[in-house]
A and B are shown apart, each in its own frame.
Chain A
Amino acid sequence: MLPLDSVLRLDATAVDYVIIATYFVFVLGIGYLAKRAVSNSLDFFLSGRSLPAWVTGLAFISANLGAIEIMGMSANGAQYGMPTVHYFWIGAIPAMLFLGVVMMPFYYGSKVRSVPEFMLRRFGKPAHLVNAISFAVAQVLIAGVNLFLLATIVNVLLGWPIWVSVIAAAVIVLSYITLGGLSAAIYNEVLQFFVIVAALLPLTIVGLHKVGGYQGLIDKVTASKGGAEQLSAWPGNDLSGFNNSFLSVIGLVFGLGFVLSFGYWTTNFVEVQRAMASKNMSAARRTPIIGSFPKMFIPFIVIIPGMIAAVAVPELQQFKQAGGTGGNVTYNDALLLLMRDLLPNGMLGLAITGLLASFMAGMAANLSSFNTVTTYDLIERYFVKDRSDDFYLRTGRWVTVAGTVIAIGTAAIASGYSNLMDYLQQLFSFFNAPLFATFILGMFWKRMTAAAGWIGLVSGTTTAVLVFILSETGVINLPGQGASFVGAGAAFVVDILVSVVVSKVTRAKEESELVGLVYSLTPKEQRTEAAGEGDHGWYRKPVLLAGISLGMVIVLNIVFG
């Protein structure tokens, strides 16, 4: 249990509570309004495939802008400084653009309703089951972790008991998702995006003013422990854990930039579901590409405040000077400490609202993808077939309730074994690398067989778990992020090799069954969008937009490199 009187306790007054309460009224209101648009299961699970691209694009990055992202990245900012931007500029943008330009035509064009369903059509039942079950289990556990983190923050900031905030948050999320389904989740994610920006941007501006502007920040960070290295993104040796600068760059580009991030952004249904909800192929492809523009600027309101906290908050300054030990604060508290020291009541309430919003949206994203996969991919496919659509809509609502109850249980477990949850989360991140290997091979190589699909997936995942165990037990010793780079890399390579070998000795699927699923067998018309109403104008062309985004990231890397 956390101390009742923490150094982080914020001095919230009535006006702050009014601001927090107003947000929750809006959140529930959106759930209620979205309910009117739900008349069948496709409305509930995929928003009737009707949303405009800017909405799904913002939801796409909001679904990922959860607690771990905001607290974790500001903590990294406080500890490592600018190299943290790699998690955004190398570790997210290229993969998001790749998803929009290359992979989305297959996801959206094949009209599958989930990522596991694509697996089913390309590789058949065994691969589908492996993918659907591991995804559903992972999501409901991660929802529990998000719930627990939210409760911990509320406990520390406002002094509420953990179980009260766990149940209150669960009830709020459950209400709007069971009412409005994915639309409610997505609309709330868009709202959350603006609230987070409204909360963090003023904090950054006040913080920068406090340390004497940007030049003041540079001077103070240079003088602090870690020195001027913290001001340039490359080569980022501290972050990657490699001593050699060359190896560090290679590790960042291939480990973080390729296997880890492509695995996460292109095959994780939590993300892809947002794009599948858009109104047509062009909008679906633009979803991750539009999302990449705000994504590249988020570091400035997350990492910069972390760096400011490390030089402007006395407790954190001491902690850092002592090499990250002692005292009663850690890097994870960077954002909270800065809020405590700089924000007056009013803005403080908004900042707390922003944090709560991000924690809840993370959990809502987990639950809204969990209910889709459980209902469409597990229940409808294997247990209760061929019932009316109305039946599956009701099932989806009950699955959401069940998922929430399990998440509360997971939160309870997490409160007792916080290390266990860290491990689980790291472990789940390994599942994505082999998944990406299987997908990319399956999309571009028509000879890849059904057996290769599931055998490759299982052996890749086993490799990742093996590397994880070896590094946890100290058999291989890699500091920093090195272990997860190596684990994901090994999983990727093993998956590809096993898939190729198995494909050579098993029989491929008929070519006619693979139309729309494999690149070489899909006619160009099916892969590209017929520009519909509202898709005209150069600024709505996916490939051109992706090019602009890529160019901007390169410029950012040069300026802050």
Chain B
Amino acid sequence: MAEKKAGAFDIRVVIAALIGLYGVILTVLGIVEKQAEIDKAAGININLWGGIAMLVFAALFVLWARLRPIVVPVEE
């Protein structure tokens, strides 16, 4: 039986895209964060750290999808 790799629609890639996008937005916000906002969050720049963590998570999910792609059996 022939096999092919699933194309664009692998839910892992979709999850990585959304979380990665959030990561970018939050990291940028974190870099330009005002001190007042940092004080609000008990002194943690949560946008920056949260954003970075999400970027790492997204990268790991993409890696997982790359290393173990979905294999779809092709019916002939």
Contacts and interface: CB of A to CB of B under 8 A. Distances in A.
Interface of A: 15, 18-19, 22-23, 26, 29-30, 33-34, 36-37, 55, 187, 190-191, 194-195, 198, 202, 205-207, 209-210, 341-347, 350
B67 interface: no
A187 B26 contact: no
Interface string B2-25: 000000110100110111011001
A194 B42 contact: no
Nearest to B11: A187
For this complex, into which size category does the number of interface residues on chain B fall? 20 to 34
Nearest to B16: A194
A191 to B, nearest CB: 6
A136 B44 CA distance: 48
Given A33-B9, A206-B41, A347 B19 contact: no
A202 B50 contact: yes
B14 A26 contact: yes
Nearest to A186: B11
A345 B22 contact: no
Contacts of B9: 33-34, 36-37
A26 B16 CA distance: 11
Given A206-B42, A347-B46, A19 B22 contact: yes
A344 B8 CA distance: 34
A172 to B, nearest CB: 16
Given A22-B22, A195-B19, 15 more contacts: A15-B25, A23-B18, A26-B18, A29-B14, A36-B9, A190-B11, A191-B11, A191-B14, A202-B49, A210-B42, A342-B40, A342-B42, A344-B33, A344-B47, A347-B41
B65 to A, nearest CB: 12
Interface in B35-71: 37-38, 40-44, 46-47, 49-50, 54
B18 A15 contact: no
Determine which residue in A33, A205, A343, A346 has the highest number of CB atoms from chain B within 10 A of its CB, and name it.
A346
Contacts of A341: 40
Given A19-B22, A344-B40, A346-B26, A202 B46 contact: yes
Q: 5 closest A-B pairs (Cβ-Cβ)?
A: A344-B37, A210-B42, A346-B29, A346-B47, A202-B50
Contact of A343 (B17, B19, B46): B46
B22 to A, nearest CB: 6
Contacts of B22: 19, 22, 198, 350
Given A191-B15, A346-B47, A347-B47, A15 B29 contact: yes
Contacts of B14: 26, 29-30, 33, 187, 191
A210 B42 CA distance: 5
Given A344-B46, A347-B47, A22 B40 contact: no
A198 B46 CA distance: 12
A342 B26 contact: no
A194 B25 CA distance: 17
Main secondary structure of the interface of A (DSSP, over half): helix
Determine which residue in B19, B22, B26, B40 has the highest number of CB atoms from chain A within 10 A of its CB, and name it.
B22
Nearest to A187: B11
Contact of A19 (B17, B25, B44): B25
Nearest to A52: B70
B37 A345 contact: yes
Contacts of A18: 25
Contacts of A207: 42
A198 B54 contact: yes
Contacts of B17: 26
B54 A209 contact: no
A23 B18 CA distance: 7
Contacts of B8: 33
A342 B41 contact: yes
Given A198-B54, A342-B41, A347 B25 contact: no
Contact of B15 (A36, A194, A342): A194
Contact of B18 (A195, A202, A342, A343): A195
A345 B25 CA distance: 11
A141 B68 CA distance: 41
Contacts of B37: 344-345
Contacts of A191: 11, 14-15, 18
Given A55-B11, A344-B33, A346-B26, A22 B42 contact: no
A76 to B, nearest CB: 24
A23 B11 CA distance: 14
Contacts of A26: 14, 17-18
